[in-house]
Every structure is written in C-alpha cells, then in structure tokens.
A and B are shown apart, each in its own frame.
Chain A
Amino acid sequence: MSTRMPIEVSIAVSKAVQQADVDVIAAYPITPQTHIVENLSGLVANGELEAAFINVESEHSAISTVIGAAAAGASTFTATSSQGLALMHEILFIASSLRLPIVMVVANRALSGPISIWNDHSDIMAERDIGWIQVFCETGQEAYDAIFHAFRVVRDPTVQLPMIVNVDGFNLTHVIEPVFLFEPEEIKDYLPEHRQALRLDIEHPITMGPVGVPEVYTEAKKQVEEALLNSKQVVMAAWQEFGQRFGRSYAPVEAYRADDAEVLLVTMGVISRTAMTAVDRFREAGKAVGLVRFRLWRPFPRAEFQEAVRHARILAVIDRHISLGALSGPVCLEVRAALFNLPDHPQVFGFVLGLGGRDVTVDDFCDIVERAERYATAGPEGDYTLIGLREV
C-alpha cells in the first residue's frame, strides 16, 4: 500500500529513480538539480540502489557517459538544468539519433545571461528540436509518477528514444509536497525489463554512429521523427495503464474548468497551479475562464490541443521564455501553428512572464485574462506582452 508523505520533490524524484532498476547514473551538479543527484549518490553509497554512480567532470561528459552506457545496453539516468543542459546540447541530438533509451530530469532554470539560478523554461525551450520525448510536471506527485512513465516509455521497443521530464527548478524541485510513494512490489510490474536489440555486444558486432552520408541523412531524421510521433500513443498507453492501476490519470493536454470557457489560459509546468487559483477566482465572479495546460510537449499533441480549445473565444498563451527576436514565445508560436489551418479557431495572444525566477502570482493571471479580453476587441499591443516588466 503506498504511503502518502510530505517529501521534498527532488527526493521523491530520486526515490522513483531508485525503484526503476537503473544501472548507470552519470551527473554533474548544478543548482537546482543537486538534491536529486546527491540523494541518488547517497542511495548508491548505502547499497540501497544497485547502480553505478559516476561523478563526471562536466554535463557534456554526463550525457556522453550515459550514451556510452546506454549503447552497452544499460538502463541510464541523468539530470541537469540551465547551463548544464545547454552544455549537453550537441550531444542531445546524437542520443536520439542513436535511438538510445535514456531518461533525464531537467530542473528548469533560466539560461544565462545574466546568470540566474532561478526558474523559467528557457533551458528546455532551447532544446525543442533534439528529438527527445518531453513532458512537464506541476506537482510533486506528478514529478514522482513521471519518472515511472518515462522508464516505461523509453523501454518500449517501438520507441527507442530518450525522454526528458521537466520539473520546475526550486519552485517544484525544492518544495515539500504530499506524495504517495510506491512500495517496490507495487510498481515493479508496471516497469518492463530493460532490453535492447541494438547494443555493443561482441557476439553481434555492429557499428553505431557511422557517417550519415547525404544519401541517408534525410531518412535518418525521418526515422527519428516517426519514432517521436509514434511515441505519443505509447506515452498515452503508459498513462492509461498507470491510471487503471494506481488511480492517477494523465493526458497530453489537461483542462481545468475549460468546458464552457470563453477565455482559456494556456500554461505548462508549476505555474499552472497558480493559474488554476486565478481561474477559480474568475469563476466565482461569474466569468467563463478556464485553463488548458500541456503535459506532453514533444511530440506536440496537436489533435488533443485543438480539441481542448475548440470552443473558446480567446487563448492567452503563457511562455516562460523570451525567444529574442521571434514573434512571440515558443509555446505561443506552436499554438498558433496548431490552429492556423483550422477554418475557425480562437484568437491567440502571447504573454511572457516569470523569467529568471520572477514570481508569478494569481494577480498576474487576472491581469493576463483582462488584457486578452481587451486585445480581442481593441487589438493586441505588440506581438506579445511581457508581464511585470518595469519600464523605468
């Protein structure tokens, strides 16, 4: 019987990794991921987790080491944030093109510069194209559960792709939340054994990572794309099974009081919870405001998103990353792209807030809804609105 206990989310995440039969962990410390890897190394040191914990000398080597281990057939895990994720950048594409089942937690933190240790989504938004499955979490329970989903999904033989679980740094990783933790026997059957067809094996010597001549490069990328698109059904099946077994259901796009909403806030990650409070406030005042949030970010869940926002008049899309020089934040861009070809769709307005750990409040969301309604009749004030900006 799982026990519900107050626990720091980072620790809960590490406990989930502990129960996932991981073989090799290679990580480099970076705030705010540190508690995850510290706890894991403690579990290994105490014999509570039978895995190799490798203290690498940089994140670039963390992902490289994990790739080497995965290529040898091991179940692998790493975690990072911000600059660490950016340092891994060139190798991340290779992890997916090599079709390796790696699980990584990103404790979302702003990218330098200026240097910031606080939470926003700029780190993960710089990695949209890497070919990894990507999900977001809002609560400690979700972060804990997501680890099991991830190991199950990457081990599916039709997937063979690495996966990122995003956990907002500090705002989620460092808070203490009530989480139902599994007993090992409960969760064991949910996770398949880690088996890999293609690996480094002297009995079957293969060449991994050859030169992708022009004649094959396009097809190689298409193959990863198809695998990524197909992974959505595997992710959803994993969520469905999880829901049946344990009573907690997840979906690619989740709605909150959205059925008859005229205005929908669109969010990702921990601020969704704050947005829900704003929605409640509007509903109490009799306004038809709701919330839709992405759980699955890659592959982009187009069908689910279109369905979720179909009946709304206005979408206020929240980005926690400023894509310098672009027409709006990346989530807003993709939302617009998802709706563009529909004969009829809501008006879409982009908002950027909570950069570099700037606090995101219920009042901010109220402000956003009011602005969105104003823009709907009076026209937007620019391509997107930066909330909370001080002019002088």
Chain B
Amino acid sequence: MQNALKDFEKFDPQHLPLFEPLAQGHRACQGCGEVLALRLAAKALGREMIVVSATGCMEIISSAYPQTAWRVPWLHVAFENSAAVAGGVDAALHIMKEKGKIARDDIPILVVAGDGGTADIGLQALSGALERGHNFIYLCLDNEAYMNTGIQRSSSTPYGAMTTTSPPGKLSIGENHFKKDLPAIAVAHKIPYVATVSPAFYLDLMNKVRKASLIKGPAYIHAFSPCPTGWRHAGRYAVKMARLAVQTRVFPLYEVIDGKYILNRKTPKPKPVAEYLKLQKRFAHLTDGDIEIIQEHVNKEYERILKLSEEVDLETKFTSTFQQHIDRLKQQMDEAYQKMREEIVHH
C-alpha cells in the first residue's frame, strides 16, 4: 500500500504556489489548453524538479534557441524516448547519490510528452520504463492528435474527429477508431499511481501531481488538453472544453492507486456528448447517428470505470464472506454440542 500518501496534503486554493516553472513568452497558441495543463502540473512540483521532454508542442514552444521558458533543469532528446531518457536520469541520480557523488536523489522527474509521443511512437519506451519501475511522473498531455506537425491523427484521436490524416469525406467519417486507452495500459503495468486530469479542475490536477511526486516508482498522469487550433474552437473556450469533457463523461476523472480504481468525480446526470461535440468544428461533419455511437461508447467507458471503482477487493470480499460462513457454522456446532450435552446429562 502507498504509505507515502498518508502524509499527503492537498493544495490550498487560497494559497497556491506562486513560482512559475514555465515562464511567460512561450510560443503556445492563444488559448492553448495543453500549456495550461503543463503550467499547473509544473506549478504543483515547483522549483525542485527535472523535466524531460519529448518532441512536441510543449517542447517546441518552450525551447526555441536562444530562449527557454523553463526555470528548472530541462532536457529534450527525441520524440519517442522521453520515458527511456527519464529512466536514465533517475538511475543516474540514485547511483551517484549512493556513490557519494551528489547530495540528493529525491528530485522529482517530470516527463512531458504528447499523445503522439506516448500512445504511438513512444509506447515502447513508456512500457519499458514503467516495467522497470523507474521513479518519475509521466505526464501525457493529450490533445488528441499530432498537433505540432499539423493536426495529424494519433491513436488517441477520438472516434469521428477530423484531422488532416483522418479527414471526413465521401468514404469517411473522420477518425474511425476509438481512442487507445492509455491509462488502462499504464494500469496493466501494475504501477503504483495512474490518474486522469483536466486543467478545468485545477485543484484536482495539482493534487494528483503532488500525490504522484510522493509515491516511489512510476506514476502516469493523463491530461486532457484542449487544442483550439486543432479542435477548431475559439481559444476562449479551452477551459470550458476541459470542463465539458468531464461533465459529459467523455473524459472521466479517476485515479488508480495500487490497482484500485477511484472515480473522483461521479456524474450521475451527465450532459449529453452532443453539447461537447457541437462546440468543436472537428466534429461538425458528424451526423446524429454518429453522435449516438459516440454517446454509447462514452456511456460504456464511464460505466466500466464506475464498476471498477465499486469493485471490492476480491480477497477482502472472500475472506469476509468465508469468515461469516465459518462463524455461522461454528455457532451451529456450538448449539448442537450444547444440545447433545444437555441430552446426555438428562439421561
């Protein structure tokens, strides 16, 4: 069990940290939901962290030579290997501390990668690093396509979305696969902490990042990242999209701690997905029939998470049920024995 979380203290909304690891002057688009998610996650960690970044929007907009928007140590190597690079940083810190070469090895490593650099080209490196149990926080900023290279589909592009490589047309409704379930893949590696976050729910996001920094071993955080440029909506609605996605169940907020699911925000009366889809031109071509398919899928996925979160630990369930049976049998045996005794005595 994660004893590390016993001493977890939530962020106080009245006293949020002021330090900005990410500086002004970065080149993200107006209204970029992804850089907002990154800003909040970085803020939750503060000055003492090392960032390892994959190639992608966040790398490009923050490190155009000779300028850097980073006020913390930051390393970019390539597109598909951020998890492997981070594993190396982690291993180096530990062994150098062990050998007395450096004073501290307790500095959180934040791995920043997009859905492209995680779900597709980066999946191998991520899987390897998770399996090896390196100590880092992997933040997948999911804007649902390869946005930096011009809005091409990724395996995280949702069903029906228009991208430049999954355009709707006479023979196509746009992306015709459902999103690859990255949090589930992370959970399958049996790592101690997996969570989904949305920048609209900033306290939830920051708290989860803090939790991730407290646990030992890999943490995987999947951040919903609205992209006005790629999703074709006005920049001002980026946070609104991030909120609607949760309210319509398109993006449920949950944690998986040592394999146990916790649905952080139940939506007993969800808004219809149409309300979310209709605000983004990338879905403008969808018919009511298409939207129904999406609604069904969203419901199914939410129910799945809900069910997982309500599942009692089987061992505990078995033990308690078994114990109840044992207790009842024992009681029956005691009563029968008592009866026998009385009969013998009276004879």
Q: Do chains A and B touch in the complex (CB under 8 A)?
A: yes
**A residues apposed to B, CB below 8 Å:** 23-24, 26, 50-52, 54-58, 60-61, 64-74, 76, 90-91, 94, 98, 200-202, 204-213, 215-216
Q: Name the segment of B28-36, B59-67, B195-203 touching the other chain.
A: B59-67
A68 engages B74 (CB within 8 Å)? no
Q: CA of A74 to CA of B105 in the docked complex: distance in angstroms?
A: 13
**B residues apposed to A, CB below 8 Å:** 47-50, 52, 59-60, 63-66, 68, 70-78, 80-81, 84-96, 98-99, 101-102, 107, 124-125, 127-129, 131-132
- By a CB distance below 8 angstroms, the chain A residues around B92 are 23-24, 52, 68-70, 72-74, 76
B71 engages A68 (CB within 8 Å)? no
| Given A23-B96, A74-B95, A210 and B68 contact (CB-CB distance below 8 Å) | yes
Partner pick for B107 among A50, A51, A202, CB 8 A cutoff: A202
B95 engages A209 (CB within 8 Å)? no
- By a CB distance below 8 angstroms, the chain A residues around B49 are 202
| Given A60-B81, A64-B78, A200 and B73 contact (CB-CB distance below 8 Å) | yes
B91 engages A60 (CB within 8 Å)? no
A205 engages B74 (CB within 8 Å)? yes
Nearest B residue to A206 via CB reads: B73
Min CB distance B105 to A, Å, is 10
A91 engages B88 (CB within 8 Å)? no
Interface of A is mostly: mixed
Nearest A residue to B59 via CB reads: A211
B64 engages A211 (CB within 8 Å)? yes
B128 engages A58 (CB within 8 Å)? yes
B77 engages A68 (CB within 8 Å)? yes
Partner pick for A61 among B81, B94, B101, CB 8 A cutoff: B81
Q: CA of A197 to CA of B86 in the docked complex: distance in angstroms?
A: 20
A211 engages B65 (CB within 8 Å)? yes
A72 engages B88 (CB within 8 Å)? yes
Which A-B residue pairs are the 3 nearest by beta carbons?
A: A68-B88, A57-B128, A74-B92
Q: CA of A66 to CA of B49 in the docked complex: distance in angstroms?
A: 20
Partner pick for B74 among A94, A204, A208, CB 8 A cutoff: A208
A65 engages B91 (CB within 8 Å)? yes
- By a CB distance below 8 angstroms, the chain A residues around B77 are 64, 67-68, 91, 94, 98, 209
| Given A24-B95, A57-B124, A208-B75, A69 and B68 contact (CB-CB distance below 8 Å) | no
B87 engages A209 (CB within 8 Å)? no
Q: CA of A74 to CA of B101 in the docked complex: distance in angstroms?
A: 9
Q: CA of A55 to CA of B129 in the docked complex: distance in angstroms?
A: 10
Q: CA of A56 to CA of B129 in the docked complex: distance in angstroms?
A: 8
A69 engages B89 (CB within 8 Å)? yes
Q: CA of A215 to CA of B92 in the docked complex: distance in angstroms?
A: 34
A selection of 17 A-B contacts at a CB cut-off of 8 Å is A23-B96, A23-B99, A50-B99, A57-B131, A58-B124, A60-B125, A61-B128, A64-B88, A65-B87, A68-B86, A69-B89, A72-B50, A74-B91, A74-B92, A200-B50, A208-B75, A213-B64
- By a CB distance below 8 angstroms, the chain B residues around A212 are 65
Partner pick for A68 among B89, B99, B101, B127, CB 8 A cutoff: B89
| Given A23-B99, A207-B63, A64 and B125 contact (CB-CB distance below 8 Å) | yes
| Given A23-B99, A57-B131, A200-B50, A71 and B89 contact (CB-CB distance below 8 Å) | yes
Min CB distance A30 to B, Å, is 16
Nearest A residue to B104 via CB reads: A202
- Given A26-B91, A65-B85, A216-B65, output 20 extra A-B contacts at Cβ < 8 Å: A52-B91, A56-B84, A60-B124, A64-B81, A64-B84, A66-B88, A67-B88, A68-B52, A68-B75, A68-B88, A68-B90, A68-B92, A70-B92, A72-B89, A74-B91, A91-B77, A98-B77, A201-B73, A202-B73, A210-B65
A209 engages B89 (CB within 8 Å)? no
Q: Please count the residue pairs between chain A and chain B whose beta carbons lie under 8 angstroms apart in the complex.
A: 158
B85 engages A64 (CB within 8 Å)? yes
- By a CB distance below 8 angstroms, the chain B residues around A23 are 92, 95-96, 99, 101
Q: CA of A205 to CA of B72 in the docked complex: distance in angstroms?
A: 5
Q: CA of A204 to CA of B59 in the docked complex: distance in angstroms?
A: 20
Min CB distance B325 to A, Å, is 46
Min CB distance B217 to A, Å, is 15
- By a CB distance below 8 angstroms, the chain B residues around A74 are 91-92, 95-96
Min CB distance A83 to B, Å, is 15
Partner pick for B84 among A60, A71, A72, A201, CB 8 A cutoff: A60
Q: CA of A54 to CA of B89 in the docked complex: distance in angstroms?
A: 12
B75 engages A55 (CB within 8 Å)? no
Q: CA of A51 to CA of B47 in the docked complex: distance in angstroms?
A: 29
Q: CA of A206 to CA of B72 in the docked complex: distance in angstroms?
A: 7
Centre residue among A51, A201, A202, A205 by max chain B CB count within 10 A: A205
Partner pick for B75 among A26, A91, A209, CB 8 A cutoff: A209
B94 engages A52 (CB within 8 Å)? yes
Q: CA of A61 to CA of B127 in the docked complex: distance in angstroms?
A: 11
Q: CA of A72 to CA of B136 in the docked complex: distance in angstroms?
A: 14
A90 engages B78 (CB within 8 Å)? yes
B84 engages A73 (CB within 8 Å)? no
Min CB distance A64 to B, Å, is 4
- By a CB distance below 8 angstroms, the chain A residues around B91 are 24, 26, 52, 54, 65, 68-69, 74
Min CB distance B73 to A, Å, is 4
Centre residue among B60, B71, B89 by max chain A CB count within 10 A: B89
B50 engages A202 (CB within 8 Å)? yes
Q: CA of A254 to CA of B80 in the docked complex: distance in angstroms?
A: 42
Min CB distance A137 to B, Å, is 27
B74 engages A207 (CB within 8 Å)? yes
Q: CA of A213 to CA of B73 in the docked complex: distance in angstroms?
A: 21
Min CB distance B60 to A, Å, is 6
A61 engages B50 (CB within 8 Å)? no
Centre residue among B47, B59, B77 by max chain A CB count within 10 A: B77
Nearest A residue to B129 via CB reads: A61
Partner pick for B63 among A51, A52, A57, A210, CB 8 A cutoff: A210
Min CB distance B43 to A, Å, is 15
Min CB distance A195 to B, Å, is 10
| Given A61-B128, A209-B63, A210-B64, A68 and B70 contact (CB-CB distance below 8 Å) | no
Min CB distance B113 to A, Å, is 13
Min CB distance B17 to A, Å, is 16
